[in-house]
Structure formats: C-alpha cells, structure tokens
Structure 1
C-alpha cells in the first residue's frame, strides 16, 4: 500500500498508521522494537516529567540516536559523536531548544551546536517532546511529502514541518487524528512496506527463469 500525500481520506491514513508497530517488527533489526518503545513512550514521559524545564541527557541522546539509525540508515560515527558529548552541554542545549518551542527554527539551531546533531537528529529530539508540531525528519516521509529525502537542511525541514502540520489539521477536520508525528509515521510505514515488497517479475523474466 502506497500513500498519496494528497489523500484526504482519514480512514486510509489511520490504516497506514495502525501498521506502524508491525512494520517496525517486520524489519527484524536488532533492538529496534525496544528502541522504538523507548523513543515513543519512555523518553517523552521522562522529558515531560522534567517540565517546566525539560532537558535531555547524553545517555538519552545516545539512545535516541540508536533509534534514529536503526529505523533508517546506520551511521556509527554519529553515535560515537553524541555518546562522547559532555552531559552538561547536552542538557544546556536541549533545555534551550525545548524552551524555544514553538519556534522550531530556533529550537533546531539550539540543538545543532552539538557535534553529530544535524537538523534530522534535532527533529527527533523535538518530536520526542512535542510530536504534534515537530515531526521527525525521516527519509521516507520526506520523500513522499517533498519528493526528495537527500536535503537535510533546516530550510527543508521547516518546509516539511509546514506540510505535515497542514496535513494533520486537514485530517483532524475529517475525523479523529493525532498530530504531525502521526502523519510522519503513517508515511514511513507505507513507504518502507512498499520498498520491502518484492517486485513482480514480468512474464518475459519468468520465461527466462524457466529456461535457465
């Protein structure tokens, strides 16, 4: 099932979103299920438990990075970078970022001073605290929403945020729906599923196979 970003049928989007957990499991990546549970449930609870001055620790940022890399492309150097950051530096930068919300541009800039943290990782941090307004900048969702997933600039992320927030509001008008992060997860689920589905062989390919 591929999901057209222009689709306004909330039922279609809900079906896509409901497949998220099973899709995570089907990827069979080490620790991804537990990391996803940590990112979507445990980490948000920890962050909001620190209100009105929420912050992130180095160990939490490392776990978040493991989730991000496991769900997408594994880049071990990024994990090494964030794991070596001083705890006080991470706490300070993340606290400033969370306080900057709902100014997403400013919040991202507060986080990208950290080595190994670009707009995509910053978006994951913000999405853990404010999923309604700050969706994670996944390659899969970017590709569907913007037609390109290779530009990880802040400018591109802000365009992505605007489109997903708008889509979220549109779906809420049609029925019960979550925030921008639910839109991202629905897009991710469908895109990953379509990529992992074996391509149907043409009749000519089947004939060649029988001759081999």
Structure 2
C-alpha cells in the first residue's frame, strides 16, 4: 500500500490486520504490551481529571512496547525506569495541557532522560490519537521516505502528513485518526516483510523427494 493511496477500503484492511501482524511477530509479551498501550493506557491517563498525566511505571511499560514493536535499545528502558515520579507526572501534565500545540508538548516531554521525540510522540498518541501519531520507523518511511531523522522538525512534518491523510480518509465516511493511519502503515510494512520472508524460504524439490521415496 502506497502512502498516496486514496482507497479507504485498502486502508481499512491494513488497519484491521494490525492485531494479527502484532501476533505474527512472535515477540515475547508484545501482544499484552500492545493491548496495554492501545487500550489500557489511554483510559488510565484520561481517568486522571482535571489534569491527566502518565506515571513512571506506565512510561516504562510504554517504552517496553515501543522497543519490542520496533528496535530494542535497552539503555532507553534503563533511563526511563530511573526517572523521578514527580518529574514524569509534571512533564506529562504540562505536555498534555499544551495540545493541540504538538511542538510545545514534545518539548515538555523531552526534558525527561531517555525520552526523545519518538518516545514523546508515543506518549502523546496514547493521550490524543486524533492529534499525534506515534513516530514509527515504518510510517516515517512510508510518509517521508526517511526513518533516520528523529528531530522535532521531522516529527512535525510527519504529523502534518498523517493528519492530512486521516482527514482525507475520514471524508470518505470512515473514521480515521492520525494514529490509525500510523498503525495501518506499520501493519502494511509488516505484511510486506512477512511476505518477503516467506518468499525467501527454501522450497522443497518434489523431484528429489520422489527419487528418495523410490530408493526406499
């Protein structure tokens, strides 16, 4: 699926395949971590009225999800695990209050050690998926043809592209958030990866197997 594709049915199919793609990776705890990130964490954050925030333990679990679904970098997990609870609460509170100004929200979160724009985007996406998508490598490649630049400037360009695509798809009667667009792009990339791995698997030679049978 190309990012420029405007067929809402294709996007819906990619998004609906997301849970099966998560399972197909066969990574330890990824299914439960994804359930936590997509369903449990947003509810936990929004229950904290009037000033929503995220806790250190929740940030640690979010980081586990991010690293398990993407590239494993254990030092980041060590950094966020040792963060002060009051600091995490304060930074996330301020960040959520900054929305819809995504630039300011990201800046509030990146004061935390181990939290760059990509991890900050995951925090914002859990709280406000209709504003901020997660900055995944796969979606970055699809939208911007680049997954090496993790700067705030690059994230803002990424947000703009995914917000525009979400509006385009939603105008066709679907209900797509920028986060839905990111998951659909990730799902499609994983589907392509799995298909290529299957193609590369050595295939049995039927003529050889039949010869062995005759010899037996």
Normalising by the smaller structure, the TM-score range is: over 0.9
Structure 2 counterparts to residues 164-203 of structure 1, below 5 A = 164-197=162-195, 198=197, 200=199
Other-structure match for 2:124: 126
The two structures have a TM-score, normalised by structure 2, of 0.91
Which of the two has higher C-alpha Rg? 2
Other-structure match for 2:153: 155
CA RMSD of aligned residues (A): 1.6
Q: Distance in 2 between matches of 1:56 and 1:48?
A: 10
Other-structure match for 1:10: 8
Structure 2 counterparts to residues 8-157 of structure 1, below 5 A = 8-157=6-155
Q: Distance in 1 between matches of 2:24 and 2:151?
A: 30
The two structures have a TM-score, normalised by structure 1, of 0.92
Question: Aligned-pair distance for 1:192?
Answer: 1.4
* Greater relative CO (CA pairs within 8 A, separation 6+): 1
Question: Aligned-pair distance for 1:196?
Answer: 2.5
SS in 2 for 1:16: helix
Other-structure match for 2:214: none
Other-structure match for 2:213: none
Contact 1:145/1:163 (<8 A) preserved: yes
Q: What is the CA deviation profile of residues 99-120 of structure 1, one whole-angstrom value per residue up to 9, with x for unaligned ones?
A: 0000000000000000000000
Runs of 4+ in 1 over 4 A off after TM superposition: none
Question: Aligned-pair distance for 1:72?
Answer: 0.2
Contact 1:9/1:174 (<8 A) preserved: no
Q: What is the CA deviation profile of residues 124-182 of structure 1, one whole-angstrom value per residue up to 9, with x for unaligned ones?
A: 00000000110000000000000011100000000000000000000011121220000
Q: Distance in 2 between matches of 1:177 and 1:185?
A: 14
Contact 1:171/1:177 (<8 A) preserved: yes
Other-structure match for 2:211: none
What number of residue pairs does the alignment pair up? 203
Contact 1:140/1:191 (<8 A) preserved: yes
Q: Which runs of 5+ in 2 are unaligned?
A: 209-216
Q: Distance in 2 between matches of 1:195 and 1:129?
A: 30
Q: Which runs of 5+ in 1 are unaligned?
A: none
Contact 1:44/1:128 (<8 A) preserved: yes
